[in-house]
Amino acid sequence: MNRNNIPIYLSLATVFGILIGVFINGNNAGFSLNSNTKNEAKIRRLMDYIDQNYVDTINTTNLLDSAISEMIGKLDPHSAYIPKEDLQDIQDRMQGKFVGVGIQFRLINDSVTVIEPIKGGPSIKAGIKAGDRIIKADKDTLSGKNLSANDIPLFLKGTSGSDITLQVYRKTNDSLFNLRVTRGDVNIKSVDLSYMINDHIGYIKLDRFARNTYREFTTALTKLTNLGMDDLVLDLRGNGGGFIDIANSIVDEFLEDDALIVFTKNNKGQIEEYFATKDGAFEKGKLYVLIDENSASASEIVAGALQDNDKGTIIGRRSFGKGLVQVEMELGDGSAVRLTTARYYTPTGRSIQKPYTRNGDVNYSRDYQKRMLSGELLYRDSIQINDALRYKTPKGKYVYGGGGIIPDIFVGIDTTGYLNNFLFNSITNFSFDYVDKNRKALNTLWTLDLFLANFDKDNSILESYLELIPKATQTYYRNDRIAIKAKIKTYVKATIAREIFGDEGFYRSIQKDDAMLQKVLELDASIE
């Protein structure tokens, strides 16, 4: 047997395995096991040959996993194999919750440092605070072990209702003590934040479309309405998608009854349509939707549905371009495959899926670089439009298929204040250290509004940061790049605000430098 052909043979074997999984889970009623008995026998014989005769000891499970991944990778860019060791974490994220102690943490100087206990989670109930160092989890020492960030959850997660004893060092009073935490459900928030930009414009940022997203969204919408919101900014930048039904439910809050939201078409030509079904909570006010090159899938369903129904204004840059629908199918051993089963179309009938090949298209994953080099992320005129894929909305606006949602109003990426990874990381570390050393005073002295108005007016904190970076870098940012220095100051202030006030502090700090939000305010002023 040619050793180099083994992955090929195993790739054939996975076809059978996937079909079995689909059949068992009822996702493909048309599959007949009897028609594949010859393939089954062939594959079993191959596996016996490998087990009994192959010259080296080999882990056939790992080999099979690799073969499955290779085969699925040749279908389309979004079908994917999920090994059993990864499946639970992925499902937890999409369900919007997991079982654990509930902390946001960062490894600082090889110590597990609590950035923030998650609201409503077990740790906050047990008394863990921001800045606490977790030294031990039961009998396992976590400090000084050269652990990675991915290792830490393995020590903290467990079954719901189980107890874990954490040894905690609290810097604010220089104390070392034990806390007993009962593990439980921890919410993974989908609404990153919601707040009032001014006296009549509300802002909601959605991170994903998980099972808890619609509930969180409507809660935020109600809160802002009670605060006097007339108009809304829905921020979908960086939102990679999620469940199509959750996206539809959110769109339903904006569209009138019976408006078409989206439709899907499978390989048999079967069409399934989704319509607005009830009175929405926000059908009358002005709506601004922010998108960028990382807004994908369910985000594009939302933006496309609103654009095609002439609802709201889409602001930003062309979205990712994912118009494929996946269904998760279990393979019987704890692993699963997310298989593309349909394409979705916006109400005007356009597919926004960008081109791809079925043989591992490298260019597909390099689309961002392509957009940057072509100038598309900087200039609207650089967006390539296919006139053959032009559609018209009910009010006569032209929209285009073939690759993402093209915004109504273009806002180019900001290159004047580009910060590299070194600066981002060093600013983040500086901000945490600053807050960690001054936590009591900062919590006492500042409200968020006072902080935004008055913090670091004399640039002393900025200069303290610049003193910590290499001399050559100091000179560069002090003297030669005024715009970048201003960006550094904004980001230093914003990251300190995040440490004290959470995500709202961060986003409100950078709002004045957010070109898309400034465009919203500009449009709002012109309408007044």
Instruction: Find where tokens 């409100």 sit.
Output: 508
Q: Mean pLDDT throughout 21-46?
A: 54
More confident residue, 107 or 17: 107
State the pLDDT at residue 177.
94
State the pLDDT at residue 416.
67
- For residue 328, the SS3 value is strand
Residue 122 — pLDDT band, cuts 50, 70, 90? very high
Q: For the purposes of burial, counting CB atoms within 10 Å of the CB of 53, is it exposed (0-12), middle (13-18) or buried (19 or more)?
A: exposed
Annotated active-site residue 297? The verdict is yes
Range of weakest confidence among 266-280, 353-367, 424-438, 490-504: 353-367
Q: Mean pLDDT throughout 401-423?
A: 85
With CA atoms as reference, report the closest residue to 239 among 291, 314, 316. Answer: 291
- For residue 350, the SS3 value is coil
Q: Rounded CA gap, 70 and 420, in Å?
A: 34
Tell me the Cα Rg of the chain: 26
Q: Which two tokens stand for residue 400?
A: 């285009």
pLDDT at 283 over 50: yes
Distances (CA, A) of 37 to 20, 41, 46, 68: 12, 6, 14, 20
With CA atoms as reference, report the closest residue to 170 among 131, 116, 114, 211. Answer: 131
Options 97, 157, 322, 354, the catalytic residue: 322
Annotated active-site residue 163? The verdict is no
Query: Which residues, in sequence order, are bridge partners of residue 105?
Result: 114
Q: Rounded CA gap, 39 and 29, in Å?
A: 20
State the pLDDT at residue 513.
87
Which H or E run includes 22? helix 6-24
Beta-strand ranges (E) seen in 276-318 are: 287-291, 313-316
Tens of pLDDT, residues 131-146: 899 999 999 999 888 8
Q: Mean pLDDT throughout 79-84?
A: 91
User: What is the percentage of the chain residues whose pLDDT exceeds 90?
Assistant: 59
State the pLDDT at residue 373.
92
Tens of pLDDT, residues 473-507: 655 555 556 677 888 899 999 999 999 998 899 99
Q: Which two tokens stand for residue 316?
A: 């930003």
Q: Mean pLDDT throughout 510-524?
A: 93
- Spell out the alpha helix ranges (H) of 139-228: 152-156, 213-226
- For residue 476, the SS3 value is helix
Q: Rounded CA gap, 116 and 482, in Å?
A: 33
Give the β-pairing of 97-100 and 184-187: antiparallel
Cα angle 183, 187, 189 (rounded to 5 degrees) comes to 155
Contacts of 272 (CB under 8 A, 6+ apart): 263, 264, 342
More confident residue, 280 or 291: 291
Residue 198 — pLDDT band, cuts 50, 70, 90? very high
Options 194, 297, 319, 351, the catalytic residue: 297
Specify whether the backbone of 512 is left (phi greater than 0), alpha (psi in -120 to 50) or beta: alpha
Distances (CA, A) of 420 to 423, 425, 473, 495, 512: 6, 9, 12, 16, 21
Instruction: Find where tokens 């399934």 sit.
Output: 272
Give CA 146 to chain center in angstroms: 28
Q: Which amino acid is at 417?
A: G
Options 132, 308, 367, 524, the catalytic residue: 308
Q: Which two tokens stand for residue 26?
A: 């009822």
- For residue 319, the SS3 value is coil
Q: Rounded CA gap, 283 and 449, in Å?
A: 31
Q: Rounded CA gap, 145 and 142, in Å?
A: 6
With CA atoms as reference, report the closest residue to 504 among 274, 235, 247. Answer: 235
Q: Which two tokens stand for residue 355?
A: 């081109």
State the pLDDT at residue 359.
65
State the pLDDT at residue 26.
35
Q: Which phi and psi angles does 405 have, rounded to 5°?
A: -95, 120
State the pLDDT at residue 5.
38
Distances (CA, A) of 44 to 32, 50, 81, 223: 18, 10, 21, 60
Longest alpha-carbon distance in the chain? 80
With CA atoms as reference, report the closest residue to 448 among 492, 499, 491, 512. Answer: 499
Give CA 348 to chain center in angstroms: 27
Yes or no: is domain 191-410 CATH 3.90.226.10?
A: yes
pLDDT at 34 over 80: no
Annotated active-site residue 279? The verdict is no
- For residue 419, the SS3 value is coil
Q: Mean pLDDT throughout 256-273?
A: 95
Half-sphere exposure of 456 (CA within 13 A, CB side): 22
- Spell out the alpha helix ranges (H) of 446-459: 448-454
Of the chain, the end-to-end C-alpha distance in Å amounts to 77
- Looking at CATH, the fold of the domain delimited by 97-187 is given as Pdz3 Domain (2.30.42)
pLDDT at 362 over 90: no
Q: Rounded CA gap, 302 and 299, in Å?
A: 5
Q: Which two tokens stand for residue 185?
A: 């459900």
Distances (CA, A) of 275 to 20, 263, 289, 347, 393: 34, 9, 20, 10, 16
CA dihedral 456, 457, 459, 462 (to 10 degrees): 30
Half-sphere exposure of 412 (CA within 13 A, CB side): 16
Whether 206 contacts 216, CB under 8 Å: no
